[in-house]
Structure 1
Amino acid sequence: MDYIGKKCPVCQKYFHADDDVVVCPECGTPHHRECYESLGHCYNEKLHEQGYDYQEDMDQTDEKDGMKICPSCGHANDNNHFFCGQCGAPLSPAQNAQQQQSPPQGAGFGMPFGQQQGQQGGNTAFNMPFMDPLAGVDSNEDFGDGITAGETAKYVKQNTPYFIRVFHNITTMNKSKFNFAAALFTGGYLLYRKMYKIGAVFAFLQLALLIVESYFTIAYNSLYTEFLNVYSQSMQFGSFMSDITQYMQTLDSTQLLVLYLPTLVELVRIAMMIVFGICFNRMYFKHCKKQIQKIKASAKEDENPETILQTKGGVNTALAISLMVTYLIILYLPTFITGLM
């Protein structure tokens, strides 16, 4: 049985394709191996006498018109929710029954903030964890080209609530949001999100601009220092316009170009940041759908496309960190070298 998308009942973390999963031989409940070994028995051991079966529990979850009905308050929830949006109670009958059992020895086992059973009080929505990775979007919603929201979430992995909600708005209202992370890191953020081709182009362009700026800062250090001295003195004596104009007239065209170069480079960089902040979410949406289509089309008969989505998607943190280190080295290299001069 494929347990991807299900939660380990001990640690409440989702099972992934590369997890070591063990299954209770009596009721079929899956656990992470280390969770099972640390607990020493099946999480649903107390339900075995009642004839509990994990598969039947999954199949018999209360559903009505694509909704899950809360067993505690009767509130109708989206089918992809794990906890009730009104009272916070678990929507799985097994979780509900387990919660009602007396907790094992040790204060606060399974309860937030170290509370004992019966000490919750107040609104249980504040005492129960609630997490919706699809941000209220139906997992079966069509994002176009035969791609669903659930498939997209499996490929995105990190920060799915933000991206799934943005993709939903793009699909239904043709409206996106400004992505500040993409604006700040531009090419590096593209590589982080595994958009390797376009990311490599813009990361190279970004580094090239920085290298050019650093080279001229080092090669023409005396010119920049002289200009800063004139600027400082003109501001001090209140004769900024006349002193700067007079100083500029003493420079040739090459020196003027060198003097204006950092400002031009900075304007290009700011323009890139604004464009990427505005356009990234749409670019990433198209990238996700294209990659998911390729994965589904190339999956073999004995392969589960959802498993491949889990392993192929996500982010590349190591590459992003390496690029950031390189960026910082080039950024501060002129300061270090000019300090030695």
Structure 2
Amino acid sequence: MPKYYGCPCEGCGRPLALTDDIVVCPDCGAPYHRECYEKLGRCIHTPAHGAGYEWTFPYKDDALRTCPSCGERTLRTEERCRCCGAVLPPESQCPEPPTQSQPGTDADGRFDYNDLYRQYQQTVEEPTRRNVQAAFGKEELIDGIPYSDWNDYIGKAAPVYLNDYSRMQLQHTKISMCFSALVFGPFYFFYRKAWKPAFGFLAAELVVALPTLLSMMQATGSPLTAGISSTAIVVLSRIMTVFSFALVMLRTLYAKWLYRKSAAERIRRIRAEFPDAAQRRAVLSAQGGVSIAGVIGAFVLLMVLGACATVLMGPNLDALAGMI
């Protein structure tokens, strides 16, 4: 994270040096010594995050010079580099820095597609890696799994999820709002290939629908509900209403954490089976990502279960029309 070297730590005010373990607030980008951030427990700008506060580089370009020892930018007014501590010679004795070409062009000024693509990747990937390093350390191990494997497994949505996981790690929480899980329910987990929570929540949804099924069976005169009173069904329905609300809150607040656990389990298995990096990357990309087929399969399964439920109905099917 070169742009933070030489900047004052937001916690203690001392310059951030090359040898320091630097962490960055995932919300506003403010830099800290790791020990300072952990001592504070949160970013000092937390009250302003809701208003969109973003940390900005504290020095103007004309106040900086390039250190000939480490190549980082440091203050002209100081005798030693704030980044590496080396004594700064007079600027007149320092060689001129090489002229940089315009973004997206090569040394001859011609348009360079490769350079432009690298810059695009940096604008998306570098902030994510910075946040991961701030939360999980320079090793970039999330649940013991390297950042690169997570990136390959999650796919295009990796920056969103990894930024969320970084925030959750820094805040020591498992909660993260997931509107996709709120709106689409179990289908979200099928889409993300998180099979265990997918089938778990699907089964829970079927349990929630049990009072409705019993009411329909009773209305059609099914002998299977002969010993069940209407009062019991009403009570069960109210219980399931509370259970349904709890279920919605659970999957909305913990969906990303459940997906993380499911993904980590599969990534570990793939890492054990494919030690070769190139093969592992291909397998992670193939077995990760999303699954439209999984969503369709879950929908078909519900249709089949619904069809099977009609077998439980009584002979008076016309009574169902009155329930609509």
TM-score normalised according to structure 2 size: 0.50
